[in-house]
Amino acid sequence: MIPVNPDRFLQDLHTLRGFGAAGLGKGVVRPAFSEADIAARKWLAARFAEAGLTPHFDPVGNLFGLAEGPSLLMGSHSDSQPEGGWLDGALGVIAALEVARAARDSGGPPVSVVSFQDEEGRFGVTTGSAIWSGTLPLAEADALVDHAGIGFAAERAKLADLAGDFVDPGRFTGFLELHIEQGPTLDSTGGQIGVVTDIVGIRDMRITFDGQQNHAGTTPMHLRRDAFQALAAFTAEINAHFSGVVTPATVWTIGHVALHPNASSIVAGRAVFSMQWRDGSAERLDRMEEIIRTVASEVADARDLSLSFGPMLGLQPVAMDRRLFAALEEGARQVAPGRWQILPSGALHDSTNLSNLMPVAMLFVPSIGGISHAFAEDTAEDDLVAGLRVLAHAVPRLSG
Give the annotated binding-site residues for Zn(2+).
77, 88, 120, 179, 373
Q: Mark the segment that binds a second copy (CB under 8 A) among 38-46, 67-75, 323-331, 368-376.
A: 368-376
Q: Does residue 347 touch a second copy according to CB under 8 A? A: yes
As a whole number of angstroms, the distance between CA 81 and CA 89 comes to 10
Q: Is 218 in the site for a second copy (CB under 8 A)?
A: yes
Q: Which region, judged by CB under 8 A, interacts with a second copy, from 35-43, 162-170, 283-291, 345-353?
A: 345-353
Closest distance of CB 345 from a second copy, Å: 8
| By the rule CB under 8 A, 387 interacts with a second copy | no
Residue whose CB is less far from a second copy, 334 or 341: 341
From the CB of 250, what's the least distance to a second copy, in Å?
8
244 lies in the site for a second copy, by CB under 8 A: no
Rule CB under 8 A: is residue 226 a binding residue for a second copy? yes
What residues from 252 to 281 belong to the interface with a second copy (CB under 8 A)?
252-259, 261-269, 274, 276, 278
Least Å distance, CB 74 to a second copy, is: 22
46 part of the interface to a second copy, by CB under 8 A: no
Among 23, 107, 149, 220, which residue sits at the site for a second copy (rule: CB under 8 A)?
A: 220
Applying CB under 8 A, does 147 fall inside the site for a second copy?
Answer: yes
Of 6, 25, 151, 370, the residue at the interface with a second copy (CB under 8 A) is 370
* Residues 62-81 interacting with a second copy (rule: CB under 8 A): 81
Among the candidate windows 72-80, 301-309, 346-354, 385-393, which touches a second copy by CB under 8 A? Answer: 346-354
Q: Which residues are annotated as a binding site?
A: 77, 88, 120, 179, 373
Query: SS3 sequence, the chain?
Result: CCCCCHHHHHHHHHHHHCCCECCCCCCECCCCCCHHHHHHHHHHHHHHHHCCCEEEECCCCCEEEECCCCEEEEEEECCCCCCECCCCCHHHHHHHHHHHHHHHHCCCCCEEEEEECCCCCCCCCCHHHHHHCCCCCHHHHHCCECCCCCEHHHHHHHHHHHECCCCCHHHEEEEEEEEECCCCHHHHHCCCEEEEEEECEEEEEEEEEECCCEECCCCCHHHCCCHHHHHHHHHHHHHHHHCCCCCCCCEEECCCEEEECCCCCEECCEEEEEEEEEECCHHHHHHHHHHHHHHHHHHHHHCCCEEEECCCEEECCEECCHHHHHHHHHHHHHHCCCCEEEEEECCCCHHHHHCCCCCEEEEEECCHHHCCCCCCCCCCHHHHHHHHHHHHHHHHHHCC
Cβ-based nearer residue to a second copy, 193 or 398: 193
Binding site residues, a second copy, CB under 8 A:
81-83, 120-121, 125, 147, 181-184, 200, 202, 204, 213-223, 226, 228-229, 231-233, 235-236, 239, 248-259, 261-269, 274, 276, 278, 346-348, 370-374
